[in-house]
Amino acid sequence: MTEVLLEARNIGKKFGGVQALKDVSLTIRRGEIYGLIGPNGAGKTTLFNVFTGLYPRDGGEVLFAGKPLTLESPHTVAAAGIARTFQNIRLFGNMTARENVMVGRHVRTRAGVVGAILRTRAERAEETAIRRRADELLHYVGIADRADALARNLSYGDQRRLEIARALATEPQLLALDEPAAGMNATETAGLRQLIEGLRKDGLTVLLIEHDVKLVMGLCDRVAVLEYGEKIAEDVPEVVRSNPKVIEAYLGTSAH
Amino acid sequence: MGWTTKEKVGLACIAAALIALPFVLAMAGTAWVRITNFAVLFVLLSLGLNIVVGFAGLLDLGYVAFFAVGAYVYALLASPHFGLHLPFWAILPIGAAVAGIAGAVLGAPTLRLRGDYLAIVTLGFGEIVRIFMNNLSAPVNITNGPKGINLIDPFRIGDFSFSANSGALSGPIKYYYFLLLVLLAVIVINRRLQDSRIGRAWVAIREDEIAAKAAGINTRNIKLLAFAMGASFGGIAGGMFAAIQGFVSPESFILNESIMILAMVVLGGMGNIWGVIAGAVLLSFMPELLRYTVEPAQKALFGKMLVDPEVLRMLIFGLALVLTMRFRPAGLWPETRHKRELDADRK
């Protein structure tokens, strides 16, 4: 349980004159749900985008499963085993739910143009496997009945689930969720919580950015808090909750 | 593929009609068979461009460049210009490969561009290729400049030449059947690609490039593949064009042609193979039909020519395009996806 899956050392990121991240170091252990919280603009999503290769980092290094992560491009990060979802859901709106998940299998499959044109036996077998896996994952996240619906026509909660299914299709070791509960109602959030707990039970490591403090504190094994691009705390939820710096920065004081 | 009996009968009817078509057309004059052949060439070009524009969503305004590459490859390898006379079945794959490489090479610098910017750059590339063809006559004469290359070999298998008449089969009819075979192959390839891991990756890029990257797609390679595949179809069409014409010059590959092919794809329905074919057939035949009807109609009505048919032709052509875009914005026969997209935008 205590094996380190991802270790970030002194990550820095500048946007023009703004230091969005300053020497952020953190470690995520295999099998845990790791929460990342902080006020708006604290750099949570920036850190996330650096981890997943969307932004180049200015300094520091990331070790993933013991190996340095090159972070040169999102697809190599996906191949290495980090999958993500987006804060403002990004699905392939005009593809069906099943096709969305099938796209997620791309990085773990091989068939090329020649195989597709000749419909070789290997290609057909692979297509069948892709399809079967997609259906399994849709079932896993609980939207199997919507497999043939266009992604854009799914309800908000189902779209979140579909995005998670597509991320799972890449066979990640670390699943990074960017504010998955944003905009969800209480029932949907409860369902999401169950889903994430199920992921942990199945041995997946989850990195969770979230505004919903109750969800984070209830769900995560450990929590890190960012403020102005710096990590101000990292510990189990109970300790973080009573950290005065955190209370002042994020949970609010009566100062005003 | 599983076909129902009804579909089988339908397909058999279409096949019979397509086989009988040139003989019916030949009764109206061999010119009509030639026009049909050019229509099929444009169908091939539209299907190639559809991979780039329809599937992968990359707006390419210089597509005719690959048609030109294919045509010039054929012309250089089968004409007295260099004294080379390779057989057509060797040249067509070479032309496809060279055009495919050209597609990837011209696509590479545009990978970060989308939409309008991509259109502008590809438009420029299309013109660059044409200008090259126009000027590569000195110091070493490669393309023979604006004069073009003449006396290009027709397709020939042994003593069987595609340009000469043999019995009831005139030259154009022979080419027609050959074109039909190629078309069939291209349709099958397109359908299979659309329905594959690569095809899904193309559509994913069209839908949301960042999400596609995050889902593990190497967008650079997959886009280059779309450019190369589309271009290679253009290269094959170009080779056949050179053989049928017996002559190529840079003038055949102007920007207007790129726009025309794009219009076929968009009018027919981006992304839907059948729609694209319908668009290409319609737009290839309409100008010819108008040419043959406008003049007699005016003579009959007014006793003299009031409007030059060429002018009227373009006018009606433009009007038809405007009306289509007004009333069927997703094309005549849209891909179900694109239609939904546009419907959703209207709400």
Please report the DSSP string for A140-176 in residue order: HTT-GGGTTSBGGGS-HHHHHHHHHHHHHHT--SEEE
Q: In this complex, is the C-beta atom of B219 within 8 Å of any C-beta atom belonging to chain A? A: yes
Residues of A in contact with B341 (CB under 8 A): 93-94
- With CA atoms as reference, the chain A residue closest to B188 would be A117
Residues of B in contact with A178 (CB under 8 A): none
Query: Cα dihedral sign for A76, A78, A82, A84?
Result: positive
- In contact, B226 and B131? CB cutoff 8 Å: no
pLDDT value of residue B302:
81
Q: In this complex, is the C-beta atom of B339 within 8 Å of any C-beta atom belonging to chain A? A: no
Q: In this complex, is the C-beta atom of A92 within 8 Å of any C-beta atom belonging to chain B? A: yes
Low-confidence stretches of chain B (pLDDT beneath 70): 1-2, 309, 313, 336-347
Instruction: Give the pLDDT band (50/70/90) at residue A92.
Output: very high
CB contact under 8 A, B201 and A103: yes
CB contact under 8 A, A116 and B199: yes
Name the helix (H) or strand (E) containing A103: helix A97-104
Distance from CA of A165 to the nearest CA of B (A): 11
What tens digit of pLDDT does each residue of B194-232 get? 989 999 999 999 999 999 999 999 999 999 999 999 999
How far is the CA of A49 from the CAs of A43, A44, A157, B100, in angstroms?
10, 9, 23, 35
Distance from CA of A128 to the nearest CA of B (A): 11
Nearest to A92 among B195, B197, B208 (CB): B208
> In the predicted model, what is the mean pLDDT of chain A?
89
Q: In this complex, is the C-beta atom of A106 within 8 Å of any C-beta atom belonging to chain B? A: yes
What tens digit of pLDDT does each residue of A171-192 get? 999 999 999 988 888 899 999 9
Interface test with chain A among B51, B184, B193, B196, by most A beta carbons within 10 Å = B196
pLDDT value of residue B83:
87
What tens digit of pLDDT does each residue of A68-80 get? 887 678 899 999 9
DSSP string over B14-46: HHHHHHHHHHHHHHH-HHHHHHHHHHHHHHHHH
Mean of pLDDT values over A229-249: 87
Q: In this complex, is the C-beta atom of A79 within 8 Å of any C-beta atom belonging to chain B? A: yes
Helix %, strand %, coil % for chain A, to 5?
45, 25, 30
Q: In this complex, is the C-beta atom of B242 within 8 Å of any C-beta atom belonging to chain A? A: no
Q: What is the ipTM of this complex?
A: 0.91
Residues of A in contact with B196 (CB under 8 A): 111, 115-116, 123, 127
Task: Estimate to the nearest angstrom the gap between the alpha carbon of B324 and the chain centroid.
Answer: 20
CB contact under 8 A, B337 and A94: yes
Q: In this complex, is the C-beta atom of B340 within 8 Å of any C-beta atom belonging to chain A? A: yes
Q: In this complex, is the C-beta atom of B213 within 8 Å of any C-beta atom belonging to chain A? A: yes
Q: In this complex, is the C-beta atom of B204 within 8 Å of any C-beta atom belonging to chain A? A: yes
pLDDT value of residue B139:
83
CB contact under 8 A, A90 and B201: no
Q: In this complex, is the C-beta atom of A119 within 8 Å of any C-beta atom belonging to chain B? A: yes
CB contact under 8 A, B218 and A126: no
- In contact, B181 and B275? CB cutoff 8 Å: no
Residue with tokens 């797609």: B217
What tens digit of pLDDT does each residue of A204-233 get? 999 999 888 888 888 999 999 988 888 988
What tens digit of pLDDT does each residue of B95-140 get? 999 999 999 999 999 888 877 899 999 999 999 999 999 999 878 8
Distance from CA of B198 to the nearest CA of A (A): 7
Distance from CA of B205 to the nearest CA of A (A): 9
Q: In this complex, is the C-beta atom of B344 within 8 Å of any C-beta atom belonging to chain A? A: yes
- In contact, A73 and B213? CB cutoff 8 Å: yes
